[in-house]
Amino acid sequence: MSSIWLWGEDLQLKEGNGLTTYYYCYICERLKKTQELSIMSNRRFIMLTHLIEDYNMDKATGLLKKYSKTVLTQLTIEDYPAKKLLIWSHNFDTFKQLLVQWVIYCHIAFFQFENIYFCQLLFFIYPGLKKYLPKASKIIYSWVIKVFKTQKGKLRKELKNACSIISISFDL
């Protein structure tokens, strides 16, 4: 693992029709500096250079030579609850997609989302999820149906555009 991930993480923000990924530097945040590093094709080099030049990071160990342990320790996004919420809100669509996949592929009953023990588990992992997790199983059902209809439409287009004859048989 590269030492750049000890001192920051990727932050994806929706801009226009696509996502732009930035390197979120925990040190810059702690020192109240502006976050300026846009991730590009050579992003690791840029982030590594930033940490080495601006914070005198040892490339081999990933430790900062410029700051004592009492002034600056290894930071995590947990140190910044407001930023954590910002990152989570931008990743909600991904969470929703993964949740629907889990429900479909693992044959999870919709009413399980109303189960208090399941909710307690999720809220333990991330308390901010209370704001996003549906309380009624009907919402999860509607998410699954929406994905089903989307996939059904894609399959129809694929079959319609097929260059060969397709035979479908069932062994019921």
Per-residue pLDDT at 78 = 52
Per-residue pLDDT at 82 = 46
Instruction: Tell which wins on pLDDT, 28 or 145.
Output: 145
Per-residue pLDDT at 126 = 74
Measured CA to CA, the distance from residue 112 to residue 118 in angstroms comes to 7
At 28-57, the pLDDT tens digits run: 777 777 776 655 545 667 788 888 888 888
Give the rounded distance of the alpha carbon of 99 from its chain centre: 13
Q: What percent of the chain has pLDDT over 90?
A: 13
Quote the tokens at residue 41: 């094709």
pLDDT greater than 50 at residue 157: yes
Identity of the residue numbered 50: H
Quote the tokens at residue 144: 């699954």
Per-residue pLDDT at 27 = 79
Q: How confident is the model at residue 95 (pLDDT cuts 50, 70, 90)?
A: confident
Per-residue pLDDT at 52 = 84
- pTM value? 0.46
Containing 154, the helix (H) or strand (E) segment is helix 137-160
Around Cβ 83, how many Cβ atoms within 10 Å? 17
Per-residue pLDDT at 38 = 59
Per-residue pLDDT at 151 = 92
Q: How confident is the model at residue 104 (pLDDT cuts 50, 70, 90)?
A: very high
Q: How confident is the model at residue 145 (pLDDT cuts 50, 70, 90)?
A: very high
pLDDT greater than 70 at residue 79: no
pLDDT greater than 70 at residue 87: no
Over residues 64-68, mean pLDDT: 61
Q: What are the residues whose beta carbons fall under 8 Å from the beta carbon of 38, sequence distance 6 or more?
A: 20, 22, 23
pLDDT greater than 50 at residue 70: no
